[in-house]
Amino acid sequence: MSTPLVRLCLDEATAKRVADVLEEAFPFGEASIAAFEVTKDDWTVEVYGGPDATAEELASALREALGPESAGLRIEADAVEEADWVAKSLAGLAPVPAGRFVVHGSHDRDKIPADVIGIEIEAALAFGTGHHGTTRGCLLAIDELLTERRFERVLDLGSGTGVLAIAIGLAQQAPVLATDIDETSARIAGENAEANGAGAFVESIHATSFDHPVFAERGPFDLIVANILAGPLVELAPDVKRHLAADGRVVLSGLMNHEEDRVLAAYAAEGLGLISSRQLEGWSTLMLKA
C-alpha cells in the first residue's frame, strides 16, 4: 500500500511560511507536514497524506489551501511505500529553545540540559509541536512575563497540544486551565500534561465557548494566552476582556504580521494596551495588558 506525497522545493523563508499555512489549513490527522533544509539556499516541504487520498488529490487540496500563493510554486505529486511518516518527519525536527523552555520530541529526550524546562511533544491530532513560529513566540512571551511576576489564575485558550499550559504549569508549579473547542485536542493536552509531569497543574477541558461554567468558576484570570487564528481572536476580544482580572496580561498569537493592526484594534476597543509585539517567521505574538 502506498502513501501519497506532495513535495515543494523552496527557499527557506517561503518553505517555513508554506509549512505554517498548511499546518493551519489541513484538518488534524489528514496530513503529516515537514519542512527541512536540503542545501544552504534550498528547502523542501513534504506533505504525506492519508491512505484514502491519491497524490493528485493531495496536490489539489494543497493548492486550494495555499490559494493564490500556489501559482508560483513547483508542486511534485508522487506516491511512496507506506510508512510512519509522522515518526519520520519528527526524527528530523531539532529541539526548539524558547527562553527557559525547550520543546522536543522523544527522540531528543536524552539531549535536553538539566537547567531548562523540557517539554516533550509529539505530533498527533492536535496543533502545537513548538516548531511553529506562533508557539515559540508565545513561549518567549511567557518566559518574559514569568520573570516579572507570578500568575495565580491562568487560562490557555485553544490549548492544542497543551504546550503553553504545560510550560506555565511547570515553571510556576501552579494551576493552569487549558481549554479547546476540539474534544480530541483537549484530551491530548491532558495526556501531554501527564506525560510531562504537569498533570497536577494542568486541567484540560473541552469547552466550545465562554458559556462553559468553568470560565466563571476559575476566573477572572490574571494571565490569558491564546494561540489560535486572527479571526477568532478578534471575535473573542470582548470575552477575553470580560474574563481578565484587573492588571491582567494577555498573550495572543496565530496571527500573521499583516493581521496585527486588525487584532490590536479589537483589543484596544476593549481597553487593552500593547506591551510588545514579536515577529517570527511571518507570524506575530502580541503581549497586552488590562
> What b-and-e string marks burial along 92-108, b requiring 16 or more CB atoms within 10 Å of the CB?
ebebbbbbbbbbbbeeb
Query: What is the distance, to the nearest Å, from the Cα of residue 102 to the centroid of all Cα atoms in its chain?
Result: 14
**DSSP line for 208-259:** SSTTSHHHHHH-SEEEEEEES-HHHHHHHHHHHHHTEEEEEEEEEEEEEGGG
227 annotated to a ligand binding site: yes
Cell of 23: 499546518
Query: What nine digits make up the cell of 169?
Result: 504549569
Taking Cα atoms as reference points, which of 282, 222, 280 lies closest to residue 251?
A: 222
62-86 b/e (C-beta count within 10 Å ≥ 16 → b): bbebbeeeeeeeebebeeeeeeebb
**Ligand-binding site membership of 135 (annotated):** yes
CA distance 116 to 48: 33
Question: What does the alpha-carbon distance between residue 226 and residue 233 come to, in Å, rounded to a whole number?
Answer: 8
Cβ atoms within 10 Å, residue 146: 17
Distance linking the first and last C-alpha atoms of the chain: 55
Burial 246-272 (b: 16+ CB within 10 A, else e): eebbbbbbbbbeebbeebbebbeebeb
Residues listed for the chain: 290
Annotated binding site: 135, 158, 180, 227
Annotated binding site for S-adenosyl-L-methionine: 135, 158, 180, 227
